[in-house]
């Protein structure tokens, strides 16, 4: 079993979910007392969030590239980033290490295609929904990406940063997300990508009537598959 390196802390709520899902996947695949071989580095999200707000992605990329190098020195044989938004700087991370980097949008595209959807709605932070880095990665695989309208983008983003990253889960926010998804379906979405790791704390497959792609779970499964591959 290869050692998985996790760059976490953005937020720690979703990183904890990633760690749990990885170990559950190893347990389910191997049984017995098996758990994942893993090393994790966890950044101070306040520092990263400040760089996001300042639109200083170069500095943020440098921080995460250093974290990836620390994981490689610690024995990581593949690296995953426990956040969707910060894949905006994935190229910086990938170029900083010699071990494979598991891109969350690539494995999500695999899941979408396996599910047979041609068009999906994308929920995430405002950065993920509005910048091209995530959408273009899916579109390169022939997947049509539909993002919420401006008002809905604000709702989705504000709930993430105002509630979910702090571990706050409210029924009213779950209903707001359901309504956002309904409007995406009206515009042609055949499925929805939960393109922020914290969203999975709030909604799941039972909450909407279309296929749901929970990126944290998808990424965890892909990481374990890579770790167990010959």
Q: In the chain, where are the structural domains located?
A: 4-103+218-228, 105-214
> What is the three-state SS of the chain?
CCCEEEEECCCHHHHHHHHHHHHHHHHHHHCCCCCCCEEEEECCHHHHHHHHHCCCHHHHHHHHHHHHHHHHHCCCCEEEECCCHHHHHHHHHHHHCCCCEECHHHHHHHHHHHHCCCEEEEECCHHHHHCHHHHHHHHCCCCEEECCCHHHHHHHHHHHHHCHHHCCCCHHHHHHHHHHHHHHHHCCCCEEEECCHHHHHCCCHHHCCCEEEEHHHHHHHHHHHHHHCC
Q: Which of 196, 197, 215, 216 is catalytic?
A: 196
Asked whether the predicted pLDDT for residue 64 surpasses 90, the reply is: yes
Is 83 part of the annotated catalytic residue set? yes
Q: Which of 41, 83, 128, 216 is catalytic?
A: 83
What does the pLDDT look like over 102-133, one tens digit per residue?
999 999 999 999 999 999 999 999 999 999 99
Same CATH topology for 4-103+218-228 and 105-214: the answer is: yes
What does the pLDDT look like over 162-207, one tens digit per residue?
999 999 999 999 999 999 999 999 999 999 999 998 998 899 989 9
Q: CATH second-level architecture of 105-214?
A: 3-Layer(aba) Sandwich (3.40)
**pLDDT for the residue 18:** 95
**CATH number, domain 4-103+218-228:** 3.40.50.1860
pLDDT band at 230 (very low <50, low <70, confident <90, very high): confident
Is 196 part of the annotated catalytic residue set? yes
Is pTM, for the whole model, over 0.85?
yes
């Amino acid at each position: 079993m290869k050692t998985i390196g996790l760059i976490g802390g953005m937020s720690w709520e979703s990183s904890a979910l990633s760690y749990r899902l990885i170990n559950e996947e190893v347990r389910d695949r191997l049984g017995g007392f098996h758990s994942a071989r893993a090393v994790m580095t966890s950044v101070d999200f306040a520092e990263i969030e400040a760089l996001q707000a300042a639109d200083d992605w170069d500095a943020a990329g440098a921080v995460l590239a250093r974290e990836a190098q620390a994981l490689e020195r610690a024995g990581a044989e593949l690296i995953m980033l426990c956040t969707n938004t910060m894949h905006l700087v994935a190229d910086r991370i990938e170029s900083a290490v010699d071990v494979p980097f598991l891109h969350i949008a690539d494995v999500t595209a695999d899941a979408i295609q396996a599910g047979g959807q041609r068009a999906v709605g994308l929920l995430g932070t405002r950065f993920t929904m509005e910048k091209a880095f995530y959408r273009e990665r899916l579109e390169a695989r022939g997947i049509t990406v539909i993002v919420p309208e401006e008002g809905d983008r604000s709702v989705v983003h504000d709930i993430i940063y105002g509630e979910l990253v702090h571990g706050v889960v409210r029924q009213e926010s779950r209903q707001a997300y359901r309504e956002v998804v309904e409007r995406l379906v009206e515009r042609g979405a055949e499925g929805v990508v939960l393109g922020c790791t914290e969203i999975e704390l709030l909604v799941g497959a039972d909450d909407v009537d279309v296929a749901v792609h929970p990126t944290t779970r998808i990424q965890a499964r892909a990481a374990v598959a890579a770790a167990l591959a010959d």
